[in-house]
Protein backbone atom coordinates (compact mmCIF):
# COMPACT_ATOMS: atom_id res chain seq x y z
CA UNK A 1 0.00 0.00 0.00
CA UNK A 2 1.49 3.30 -1.06
CA UNK A 3 1.39 6.71 0.54
CA UNK A 4 -1.27 7.97 -1.90
CA UNK A 5 -3.54 5.03 -1.12
CA UNK A 6 -3.08 5.61 2.61
CA UNK A 7 -3.78 9.32 2.24
CA UNK A 8 -6.97 8.78 0.22
CA UNK A 9 -8.34 6.10 2.57
CA UNK A 10 -7.69 8.35 5.56
CA UNK A 11 -9.10 11.42 3.81
CA UNK A 12 -12.36 9.61 3.03
CA UNK A 13 -12.60 8.12 6.51
CA UNK A 14 -11.93 11.32 8.46
CA UNK A 15 -14.12 13.41 6.12
CA UNK A 16 -17.02 11.07 6.80
CA UNK A 17 -16.20 10.96 10.53
CA UNK A 18 -16.42 14.75 10.56
CA UNK A 19 -19.83 14.51 8.90
CA UNK A 20 -18.65 16.37 5.82
CA UNK A 21 -19.62 15.74 2.24
CA UNK A 22 -17.09 16.42 -0.50
CA UNK A 23 -18.96 19.67 -1.11
CA UNK A 24 -18.72 20.80 2.52
CA UNK A 25 -15.03 19.94 2.74
CA UNK A 26 -14.40 21.81 -0.49
CA UNK A 27 -16.17 24.85 0.97
CA UNK A 28 -14.12 24.71 4.17
CA UNK A 29 -10.79 24.58 2.34
CA UNK A 30 -11.90 26.96 -0.42
CA UNK A 31 -11.40 24.48 -3.24
CA UNK A 32 -13.78 23.02 -5.79
CA UNK A 33 -15.87 19.94 -5.14
CA UNK A 34 -14.36 18.49 -8.31
CA UNK A 35 -10.89 18.82 -6.76
CA UNK A 36 -11.96 16.83 -3.68
CA UNK A 37 -13.54 14.22 -5.95
CA UNK A 38 -10.39 14.01 -8.04
CA UNK A 39 -8.28 13.51 -4.91
CA UNK A 40 -10.55 10.76 -3.64
CA UNK A 41 -10.50 9.14 -7.08
CA UNK A 42 -6.66 9.24 -6.97
CA UNK A 43 -6.47 11.50 -9.98
CA UNK A 44 -4.86 14.38 -8.09
CA UNK A 45 -2.62 14.71 -5.07
CA UNK A 46 -2.74 17.85 -2.93
CA UNK A 47 0.06 20.25 -2.15
CA UNK A 48 1.44 20.53 1.38
CA UNK A 49 -0.59 23.73 1.85
CA UNK A 50 -3.79 21.95 0.85
CA UNK A 51 -2.99 19.01 3.14
CA UNK A 52 -2.67 21.48 6.03
CA UNK A 53 -6.05 23.01 5.13
CA UNK A 54 -7.69 19.59 4.90
CA UNK A 55 -6.29 18.54 8.28
CA UNK A 56 -7.47 21.77 9.87
CA UNK A 57 -10.95 21.35 8.37
CA UNK A 58 -11.09 17.77 9.68
CA UNK A 59 -9.66 18.82 13.06
CA UNK A 60 -6.77 16.34 12.85
CA UNK A 61 -2.99 16.60 12.54
CA UNK A 62 -1.72 16.44 8.94
CA UNK A 63 0.37 13.38 9.81
CA UNK A 64 -2.83 11.43 10.59
CA UNK A 65 -3.68 11.56 6.88
CA UNK A 66 -0.52 9.55 6.19
CA UNK A 67 -0.79 7.11 9.09
CA UNK A 68 -0.96 3.57 7.73
CA UNK A 69 -3.18 2.65 10.69
CA UNK A 70 -5.20 5.87 10.59
CA UNK A 71 -8.49 4.41 9.42
CA UNK A 72 -10.24 1.06 9.61
CA UNK A 73 -9.84 0.65 5.85
CA UNK A 74 -6.08 1.05 6.10
CA UNK A 75 -5.88 -1.27 9.08
CA UNK A 76 -7.79 -3.86 7.07
CA UNK A 77 -5.49 -3.40 4.05
CA UNK A 78 -2.41 -3.68 6.26
CA UNK A 79 -3.77 -6.76 7.98
CA UNK A 80 -4.38 -8.41 4.62
CA UNK A 81 -0.92 -7.48 3.43
CA UNK A 82 0.78 -8.79 6.55
CA UNK A 83 -1.26 -11.94 7.07
CA UNK A 84 -2.42 -12.93 3.58
CA UNK A 85 0.41 -15.39 2.96
CA UNK A 86 0.15 -16.86 6.46
CA UNK A 87 -3.60 -17.29 6.14
CA UNK A 88 -3.28 -18.75 2.64
CA UNK A 89 -0.70 -21.27 3.82
CA UNK A 90 -2.79 -22.19 6.86
CA UNK A 91 -5.93 -22.66 4.74
CA UNK A 92 -3.99 -24.69 2.19
CA UNK A 93 -2.69 -27.01 4.91
CA UNK A 94 -6.15 -27.42 6.44
CA UNK A 95 -7.68 -28.15 3.04
CA UNK A 96 -4.99 -30.71 2.24
CA UNK A 97 -5.53 -32.34 5.63
CA UNK A 98 -9.31 -32.47 5.12
CA UNK A 99 -8.95 -33.98 1.64
CA UNK A 100 -6.47 -36.53 2.97
CA UNK A 101 -8.86 -37.52 5.77
CA UNK A 102 -11.70 -38.00 3.28
CA UNK A 103 -9.48 -40.05 0.96
CA UNK A 104 -8.27 -42.24 3.84
CA UNK A 105 -11.88 -43.19 4.61
CA UNK A 106 -12.15 -45.11 1.33
pLDDT for res 83: 67
Contacts of 49 (CB under 8 A, 6+ apart): none
- Residue of 101 and 59 predicted with greater confidence: 59
9/70 Cα distance (integer angstroms) = 9
Global pTM exceeds 0.75: no
pLDDT for res 38: 95
Contacts of 4 (CB under 8 A, 6+ apart): 42, 45
Count CB neighbours of 85 within 10 A.
9
Q: Is residue 96 pLDDT above 80, yes or no? A: yes
pLDDT for res 76: 66
pLDDT for res 32: 96
96/3 Cα distance (integer angstroms) = 38
Amino acid sequence: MGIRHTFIQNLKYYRKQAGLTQEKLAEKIEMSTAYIGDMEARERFPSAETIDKIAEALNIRPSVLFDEFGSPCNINDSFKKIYAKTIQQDLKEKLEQAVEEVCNQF
